């Protein structure tokens, strides 16, 4: 049994593989279907983009597909980088470049405050999952989010994306300092996956 995930993000693939392994399911990604063209992610919301990815890949393969659109929303930046999280520092930017860009933007925002001291900025990770079955046309949607603080220095070598800057006070660690199990237990993606499993249990799919 396989689960096809409409993603090329290796961090996401690792987390999905880890989540589905105990269910005896092997995760396939877009690296296993190299002929399928990249989907243009021009939606305004995570849900719109997730649906685009799920539909494009599901219809091309004629098989059920799971898509994940996710990102970081920083309060001080009115929810940016949001749906632009993967390309905050430009198209094809690395995780490291995106982290540097976020630190630069926050630093310049905060220069004008009273203390001049760098502040920890409240932020959320958000993940919307869509499961699409092209045989029935049915879609299931599920969203998860987790609150944290953007730190002023990266820490930790685990995870991906903005994890080294996302501080969780309850652990006194960044998301990149958690084990895969710990991240899965509290993350936006872990929550969205468990919501989806519950919804799937209630549907006829
Ligand atoms: P696919 O579209 O192929 O799935 P992508 O990386 O382009 O890959 P998104 O458009 O959903 O995926 O962008 C998600 C970005 O949000 C991702 O590149 C990270 O920068 C950030 N992000 C999402 N989940 C994250 C997580 O668990 N930890 C850290 N950063 C995360």
Range of the domain at 69: 2-202
pLDDT in tens, the chain (205 residues): 999 999 999 999 999 999 999 999 999 999 999 999 999 999 999 999 999 999 999 999 999 999 999 999 999 999 999 999 999 999 999 999 999 999 999 988 876 566 656 568 999 999 999 999 999 999 999 999 999 999 999 999 999 999 999 999 999 999 999 999 999 999 999 999 999 999 988 775 4
Q: For residue 57, what is the domain's CATH number?
A: 3.90.950.10
Longest dimension (CA), the chain: 59
User: What is the total count of domains within the chain?
Assistant: 1
Note if the pTM is more than 0.90: yes
The Cα-based distances of 29 to 10, 109, 151 in angstroms read: 9, 38, 32
Whether the complex's predicted ipTM surpasses the cut of 0.90 = yes
Q: In testing the pocket of ligand 1, which one of 31, 69, 70 has its CB within 8 Å of the most ligand atoms?
A: 70
Show the tokens assigned to 19. Answer: 């989540």
- CA dihedral (49, 55, 57, 58) positive or negative: positive
Best residue among 45, 49, 57, 71 to mutate for probing ligand 1's pocket (most ligand atoms within 8 Å of CB) is 71
**Given 32, 35, 38, 69, the catalytic residue:** 69
- H and E: helices and strands count for the chain: 5, 7
């Amino acid at each position: 049994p396989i689960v096809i995930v409409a993603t090329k993000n290796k961090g996401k693939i690792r987390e999905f593989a880890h989540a589905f392994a105990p269910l005896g399911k092997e995760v396939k990604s877009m690296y296993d279907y190299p002929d399928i063209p990249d989907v243009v992610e021009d939606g305004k919301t995570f849900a719109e983009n997730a649906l685009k990815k799920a539909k494009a890949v599901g219809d091309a393969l004629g098989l059920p597909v799971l898509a994940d659109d996710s990102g970081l929303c920083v309060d001080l930046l009115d929810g940016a980088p949001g749906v632009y999280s993967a390309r905050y520092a430009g198209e094809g930017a690395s995780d490291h470049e995106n982290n540097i860009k976020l630190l630069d933007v926050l630093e310049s925002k905060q220069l004008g405050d009273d203390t001049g001291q760098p502040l920890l900025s409240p932020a959320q990770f958000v993940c919307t999952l869509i499961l699409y079955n092209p045989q029935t046309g049915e879609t299931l949607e599920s969203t998860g989010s987790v609150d944290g603080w953007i730190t002023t220095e990266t820490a930790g070598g685990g995870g991906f994306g903005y994890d080294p800057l996302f501080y969780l006070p309850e652990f006194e660690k960044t998301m990149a300092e958690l084990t895969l199990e710990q991240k899965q237990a509290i993350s936006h993606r872990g929550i969205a996956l468990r919501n989806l499993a519950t919804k799937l249990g209630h549907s006829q799919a």
